[in-house]
Amino acid sequence: MPVVLPVFFQLLNAEGKAVDAEIRAAFTEDVSGTGLRLQIRHLPASLKERLQETPPDLRMQLDMPLPHKRIRVESRVAWCRPDDKEGSDAVFVGIEFANLSREHGDEMLAVARRAVRRPKIRRMILAGLSLGLLLSAGALWWNHERHLEEEKAMTEKLVDATAKYDALSASIEERKAHYNSTAATI
């Protein structure tokens, strides 16, 4: 199952002796009941070459942190491929468990399943938030359009009232002029 979990490891030779004193970190790319696919970065060139030998003669001692404990597992390197992305120094390593108990395997798979579900839950939350944002934007647009229509109607009423006021003012001015001209003749 595709899941990213941290793993600490030490490389061992075929006899089980440490290749060097380093404890290194890697991340899983895939987890199953029988093995892991790891992504390992920053390995010395000599170890990369040794990992890529066919067949690889290396083993790994893995420490896998789980929520309440660590599992230590012996494993065999099954294959190794370099990352083909430009500028990447990573290698992908397939390992097979040598002594993983059923209990530890079940615990590891349970942690992996929970980790796989997290992105789905996050996607569902994001989808809900996106839908809420879309509905809010739609409501705001509708409200804005409604206000524009109200402003347009008010503007039309003001223009109509202004025209009526201008007509009434002109009529009053005409009557005043007529009254003044009639009063002057009397």
The structural architecture, per CATH, of the domain 6-100 is: Beta Barrel (2.40)
Q: For residues 111-130, give the mean pLDDT.
A: 67
Q: For residues 17-40, give the mean pLDDT.
A: 85
Indicate if the pLDDT at residue 95 is higher than 70. Answer: yes
Indicate if the pLDDT at residue 55 is higher than 70. Answer: no
- Tens of pLDDT along 2-12? 677 788 998 88
CA 29 vs. chain centroid, Å, equals: 17
Round to whole Å and give the CA distance between 76 and 60: 6
Round to whole Å and give the CA distance between 43 and 62: 16
The CA distances from residue 100 to 27, 29, 40, 106, in Å, are 18, 19, 21, 10
- Tens of pLDDT along 138-175? 788 888 888 889 999 999 998 888 989 988 988 898 88
Indicate if the pLDDT at residue 111 is higher than 80. Answer: no
Indicate if the pLDDT at residue 129 is higher than 70. Answer: yes
**6 and 70 Cβ atoms separated by less than 8 Å:** no
DSSP state of 185: H
Q: Which residue has the higher pLDDT, 133 or 36?
A: 36
From 67, 53, 63, 69, select the one nearest 14 (Cα to Cα): 53
Q: Which residue has the higher pLDDT, 119 or 182?
A: 182
